[in-house]
Structure 1
Amino acid sequence: MSADELWWRRPFQMFQTNLREIDAGLDVERVLDYLEDFGARAWLLSVGGIVSNYPTDLEFQTRNPALAERPSGDLVGDAVAAAGRRGIRVLARMDFSKVDHRRAERHPEWCFTGADGTQQVYNGLTSVCPSGDYYQHRLFEVVDEVLDRYAVDGFFFNWMSFNEVDYSKAHRGCCHCLACRRGFAAFAPGTELPAGPGSPGYPAWRRFTAGVLDELTARVRAHVSARRPAAPLILGDRADIVFHEANNAVGRTLWHHRTAEHVSAARTHRPDVPVLTNAVAFVDMPYRLAGEEPNHFAQYLVQAIARGANPSTYIMGTPDDVGYECLDVAGELTRFHRDHDAFYRDLAPAARVLLVRPDPLKLAPERLEEATGEFRGLYSALLEAHVPFDVLPEPRVPDVAAQGRLDGYGLVVLPDLGPLDPAAAAALGRFARGGGGVLATGASGFDGEGSQLDGSPVLRRTAVRDTVESVRSMHLRRPGRDGARPRGELPVVGAFHVVEPSPDAETDLPVLSRAPYGPPEKCHGHLPLDIPGALWRAHGAGQVAVLPWTPGRAYHQVGLSGHRDVFVEAALRTANGPVRVDTDLPEQVEVVLGGSAAGGVVHLINHSGEVPQGFRAPLPVHGRRLRVPWWSRQPSFALRSRTGLDPDGAGALPRLDLFEVLVERPPVADR
Structure 2
Amino acid sequence: MTGHDLWWQRPFQMFQTNLREIDAGLDVGRVLDYLEEFGAQAWLLSVGGIISNHPTDLDFQTRNPALAARPSGDLVGDAVAAAGERGVRVLARMDFSKVDHRRAERHPEWCFTGADGTQQVYNGLTSVCPSGDYYQHRLFEVVDEVLDRYAVDGFFFNWMSFNEVDYSGVHRGTCHCLPCRRAFADFAPGTELPTGPGSPTYPVWKRFTATVLDDLTARVRAHVSARRPEAPLILGDRADIVFHEANNAVGRTLWHHRTAEHVSAARTYRPRVPVLTNAVGFVDMPYRLAGEEPHHFAQYLVQAVSRGANPSTYIMGTPDDVTYECLDVAGEVTRFHRDHDEVYRDLVPAARTLLVRPDPLKLAPERLEEATHEFRGLYTALLERHIPFDVLPEPRLPDVDAQGRLGDYGLVVLPDLGALDAEAVGALERFVSGGGGVLATGESGFEGDAFQLEGSPVLRRTAVRDTVESVRSLHLRRPGRDGARRGGDLPVLGAFHVVEAVPDAETDLPVLSRAPYGPPEKCHGHLALDLPGSLWRAHGRGRVAVLPWTPGRAYHQVGLSGHRDVFVETALRTASGPVRVDTDLPEQVEVVLGASAAGGVVHLINHSGEVPQGFRAPLPVEGRRLRVPWWSDQPSFALRSETGLAGDGEVVLPRIDLFEVLVRP
Normalising by the smaller structure, the TM-score range is: over 0.9
Equivalent-residue separation in structure 1 for 2:497 and 2:368 (angstroms) = 18
Q: Which residue pairs with 2:130 in the alignment?
A: 130
Deviation digits for residues 239-283 of structure 1 (CA, Å, limit 9, x no counterpart): 000000000000000000000000000000000100000000000
Equivalent-residue separation in structure 2 for 1:649 and 1:14 (angstroms) = 39
Q: Which residue pairs with 1:262 in the alignment?
A: 262
Counterpart mapping for 1:388-403 below 5 A: 388-403=388-403
Equivalent-residue separation in structure 2 for 1:299 and 1:200 (angstroms) = 38
Q: Which residue pairs with 2:557 in the alignment?
A: 557
Q: Which residue pairs with 1:566 in the alignment?
A: 566
Q: Does 1:330 align with 2:336?
A: no
RMSD between superposed Cα atoms in Å: 0.7
Deviation at 1:69, TM superposition (A): 1.5
Q: Which residue pairs with 1:663 in the alignment?
A: 663
Q: Which residue pairs with 2:379 in the alignment?
A: 379
Q: Which residue pairs with 1:151 in the alignment?
A: 151
Q: Which residue pairs with 1:202 in the alignment?
A: 202
Deviation at 1:481, TM superposition (A): 3.9
Contact 2:635 2:651 in 1 (8 A): no
Equivalent-residue separation in structure 2 for 1:582 and 1:310 (angstroms) = 29
Deviation at 1:482, TM superposition (A): 7.0
Deviates more, 1:461-470 or 1:422-431: 422-431
Question: Which structure 1 residue ranges, 4+ long, deviate > 6 Å from structure 2?
Answer: none
Deviation digits for residues 6-37 of structure 1 (CA, Å, limit 9, x no counterpart): 00000000000000000000000000000000
Structure 1: runs of 5+ lacking an equivalent? 666-671
Q: Does 1:509 align with 2:509?
A: yes
The amino acid across from 2:147 in the alignment is: L
Q: Which residue pairs with 1:247 in the alignment?
A: 247
Equivalent-residue separation in structure 2 for 1:647 and 1:523 (angstroms) = 55
Q: Does 1:52 align with 2:80?
A: no
Deviation at 1:433, TM superposition (A): 1.0
Contact 1:583 1:627 in 2 (8 A): yes
Deviation digits for residues 131-172 of structure 1 (CA, Å, limit 9, x no counterpart): 000000000000000000000000000000000000000111
SS in 2 for 1:321: coil
Q: Which residue pairs with 2:525 in the alignment?
A: 525
Q: Which residue pairs with 1:415 in the alignment?
A: 415
Contact 2:634 2:651 in 1 (8 A): no
Aligned length in residues: 665
Q: Does 1:40 align with 2:11?
A: no
Contact 1:633 1:647 in 2 (8 A): no
The amino acid across from 2:492 in the alignment is: V
The amino acid across from 2:284 in the alignment is: D
Counterpart mapping for 1:355-374 below 5 A: 355-374=355-374
The amino acid across from 2:497 in the alignment is: H
SS in 2 for 1:320: coil
Deviation digits for residues 279-327 of structure 1 (CA, Å, limit 9, x no counterpart): 0000000000000000000000000000000000000000000000000
Equivalent-residue separation in structure 2 for 1:482 and 1:586 (angstroms) = 23
Contact 2:45 2:90 in 1 (8 A): yes
Q: Which residue pairs with 2:25 in the alignment?
A: 25
The amino acid across from 1:58 in the alignment is: L
Q: Which residue pairs with 1:598 in the alignment?
A: 598
Contact 1:494 1:553 in 2 (8 A): yes
Deviation digits for residues 97-141 of structure 1 (CA, Å, limit 9, x no counterpart): 000000000000000000000000000000000000000000000
Q: Which residue pairs with 2:424 in the alignment?
A: 424
Equivalent-residue separation in structure 1 for 2:169 and 2:102 (angstroms) = 25
Counterpart mapping for 1:142-541 below 5 A: 142-481=142-481, 484-541=484-541
Equivalent-residue separation in structure 2 for 1:365 and 1:650 (angstroms) = 46
Equivalent-residue separation in structure 1 for 2:190 and 2:327 (angstroms) = 53
Deviation at 1:647, TM superposition (A): 5.7
Equivalent-residue separation in structure 1 for 2:372 and 2:575 (angstroms) = 23
Aligned sequence identity (%): 87
Q: Which residue pairs with 1:91 in the alignment?
A: 91
Deviation at 1:632, TM superposition (A): 1.2
Equivalent-residue separation in structure 2 for 1:539 and 1:74 (angstroms) = 67
Counterpart mapping for 1:543-554 below 5 A: 543-554=543-554
Equivalent-residue separation in structure 2 for 1:478 and 1:386 (angstroms) = 22
Q: Which residue pairs with 2:8 in the alignment?
A: 8
Equivalent-residue separation in structure 2 for 1:650 and 1:341 (angstroms) = 26
Equivalent-residue separation in structure 1 for 2:255 and 2:314 (angstroms) = 20
Contact 2:627 2:651 in 1 (8 A): no
TM-score (norm. length: structure 1): 0.99
Q: Which residue pairs with 1:102 in the alignment?
A: 102
Q: Which residue pairs with 1:669 in the alignment?
A: none
Deviation digits for residues 446-475 of structure 1 (CA, Å, limit 9, x no counterpart): 011100111110000000000000000000
Equivalent-residue separation in structure 2 for 1:646 and 1:507 (angstroms) = 44
SS in 1 for 2:652: coil
Equivalent-residue separation in structure 2 for 1:412 and 1:305 (angstroms) = 24
Equivalent-residue separation in structure 1 for 2:573 and 2:42 (angstroms) = 47
The amino acid across from 1:410 in the alignment is: G
Contact 1:115 1:174 in 2 (8 A): yes
Equivalent-residue separation in structure 1 for 2:639 and 2:649 (angstroms) = 16
Structure 2: runs of 5+ lacking an equivalent? none
The amino acid across from 1:102 in the alignment is: R
Contact 2:634 2:650 in 1 (8 A): no
Contact 2:114 2:174 in 1 (8 A): yes
SS in 2 for 1:8: helix
Deviation at 1:485, TM superposition (A): 1.5
The amino acid across from 1:104 in the alignment is: A
Contact 1:636 1:647 in 2 (8 A): no
Contact 1:551 1:567 in 2 (8 A): yes
Deviation at 1:649, TM superposition (A): 4.7
Deviation at 1:646, TM superposition (A): 2.2
Deviation digits for residues 323-369 of structure 1 (CA, Å, limit 9, x no counterpart): 00000000000000000011000000000000000000010010000
Equivalent-residue separation in structure 1 for 2:558 and 2:153 (angstroms) = 49
The amino acid across from 2:494 in the alignment is: G
SS in 2 for 1:319: coil
The amino acid across from 2:501 in the alignment is: P
TM-score (norm. length: structure 2): 0.99
SS in 2 for 1:44: strand
